[in-house]
Amino acid sequence: MANPNLQLHDDGRLRHFLSVEGLSKQILTDILDTAESFTSVTDRSIKKVPILRGKTVANLFFEASTRTRATFELAAQRLSADILSLDIKTSSAVKGESLLDTLHNLEAMQIDMFVIRHQDSGSAHFFASHVHPGVSVLNAGDGQHAHPTQAMLDMFTIRRHKQQFEGLSVAIVGDIKHSRVARSQIHALNILNTGQVRVIAPPTLLPEHCETLGVQVYHDFDEGIRDVDVVIMLRLQKERMTGALLPSEKEYFRQYGLTAERIKLAKPDAIIMHPGPANRGIEIESSVMDGKQSVILQQVTFGIAVRMAVMSMIASQPGLDG
Ligand code: CP
């Protein structure tokens, strides 16, 4: 677990954003409310505010990304920051430079915020433990551990459609075991007092002692999806699987794929979410992904406002803000 104290200044303001775990309901709600105010900026013809003018944000993606990398970059631009997006494949990391040396060299260029995605769980926390005072780290996904801004944009999407978390039933379906997104979503949903958080997966794709995370576990999709308000589908993280955890993709889709028939078991106004990247025909039927109940592309759009919110809260000065 990330040390929550590392994420916060002594006065409770965000210093880094490493993990949802350990943060208060008030901070999560502040992120959602601040993001709400930024959606109007993203709808304007001139989509800029000067909140990060004069600041430099470095995007360090050691793993592949489309949505997170692009929306962090757009969010920083819309806050008027200077952006450095390092191409890791052509950086000195491939010549064996350590993560810490890469960090210190970039710090020498007066970077104010690092956005980091790395294959190792704990890497964002490691970075945050070593940066100079005044420098912040935002976790864009570390191994199987956490993806906190994804969870917050998912919470934003749920709140937009369902207004509140109390009384809601949310089902997270698929490869929970390897999913940093699922872990962060479960923490966020519980901190925000969601009525019921269900996880639906075969036993081989669940972490050990999953119930201790504050979820109800289902192995039968049809049972678990019944009357839920929100269905969150997850990708099979084949790159993180060691050994055969599934009989076949065809069998997985038969048992755990979201189809037009299956979604009828949820509430009629249930929304369908997916953090992406999605594999059509493996965890979700193509027509369902593009269907009326799907809010998958809205999640991507909201990601910009939510990432603007987190960066602006981190940049806020004591005594200068509302
Ligand atoms: N949801 C998500 O993290 O997508 P990317 O891997 O494309 O950033």
| Per-residue pLDDT tens digits for 13-42 | 999 999 999 999 999 999 999 999 999 887
Ligand 1 atom closest to Cα of 147?
Answer: 3
276 lines ligand 1 (CB under 6 A): yes
User: What DSSP string runs through 72-140?
Assistant: HHHHHHHTT-EEEEE-GGGSGGGGT--HHHHHHHHHTTT-SEEEEEESSTTHHHHHHHHSPTT-EEEEE
Residue ranges of alpha helices (H) inside the chain are 4-7, 25-43, 67-78, 99-107, 123-130, 148-162, 180-191, 221-224, 249-256, 260-263, 286-289, 296-315
Q: Which pLDDT does position 93 carry in this prediction?
A: 82
Tokens 């926390």 appear where? 125
pLDDT surpasses 90 at 8? yes
- Residues 233-260 have pLDDT tens digits of 999 887 666 666 677 889 999 999 999 9
Closest protein CA for atom 5 of ligand 1: 65
Secondary structure class of 189 (helix, strand, coil): helix
Strand partners, 294: 272
DSSP state at residue 317 = P
**71: confidence class by pLDDT, cuts 50, 70, 90:** very high
Angle at 230 between CA 236 and CA 124, to 5 degrees: 50
Share of the chain above pLDDT 90, in %: 84
Both tokens of residue 103? 């960090």
Dig out the tokens for 146 from the structure. 């956490």
- Per-residue pLDDT at 67: 98
pLDDT higher than threshold 60 for residue 1: no
Q: Which mutation among 59, 60, 62, 66 tests ligand 1's pocket best, with the greatest number of atoms within 8 A of CB? A: 66
Q: Is the CB of 318 under 6 A from ligand 1?
A: no
Cβ(65) to ligand 1 under 6 A?
yes
The pLDDT assigned to 95 comes to 85
Question: Residues 6 or more apart from 95 whose CB is under 8 A from it?
Answer: none
196 φ/ψ angles, rounded to the nearest 5 degrees: -145, 125
**Do 187 and 20 contact (CB within 8 A), yes or no?**
yes
Q: Any idea what DSSP says for residue 183? A: H
Mean local confidence (pLDDT), 105-129 = 96
Q: Ligand 1 pocket: which of 60, 61, 65 to mutate (most atoms <8 Å of CB)?
A: 65
Residue having the nearest C-alpha atom to atom 6 of ligand 1: 65
The residue written with tokens 């075969």 in the block is: 202
Contact 68 CB / ligand 1 (< 6 Å): yes
Task: Report the pLDDT value the prediction gives residue 318, as an integer from 0 to 100.
Answer: 75
Whether 77 and 21 have beta carbons less than 8 Å apart is answered as no
CB of 237 within 6 A of ligand 1: the answer is: no
pLDDT score at 242? 62
2 has pLDDT over 50: no
Q: At what angle do helices 123-130 and 99-107 cross, to 10 degrees?
A: 40
What number of other Cβ atoms are within 10 A of residue 56's Cβ? 17
For the chain, how far is it from start to end, CA to CA, in angstroms?
31
The more confidently predicted of residues 96 and 244 is 96
Give pLDDT, residue 243: 61
Say what the pLDDT of residue 7 is.
96
Q: Return mean pLDDT, the chain.
A: 93
| Structural domains in the chain, sorted by start | 4-146+301-314 (3.40.50.1370), 148-299 (3.40.50.1370)
Q: What is the pLDDT of residue 240?
A: 66
Given the CA of residue 141, which atom of ligand 1 is nearest to it? Answer: 3
Which are the contacts of 238, defined by CB distance < 8 A and separation ≥ 6? none
Distance CA 65, CA 277 (A): 9
Amino acid at 246: L
CA angle 311, 166, 17 (to 5 degrees): 20
Identify the weakest region by mean pLDDT among 94-98, 177-181, 309-313. 94-98
Peptide bond just before 277 cis, omega within 30 deg: yes
The per-residue pLDDT for range 178-237, each reduced to its tens digit, is 999 999 999 999 999 999 999 999 999 999 999 999 999 999 999 999 999 999 999 988
Mutate to test the pocket of ligand 1, among 71, 144, 150 (most ligand atoms within 8 A of CB): 150
Residue 313: pLDDT above 50? yes
Nearest Cα to Cα of residue 313 among 56, 107, 17: 17
Task: Look at the block and give the residue holding tokens 């709600």.
Answer: 29
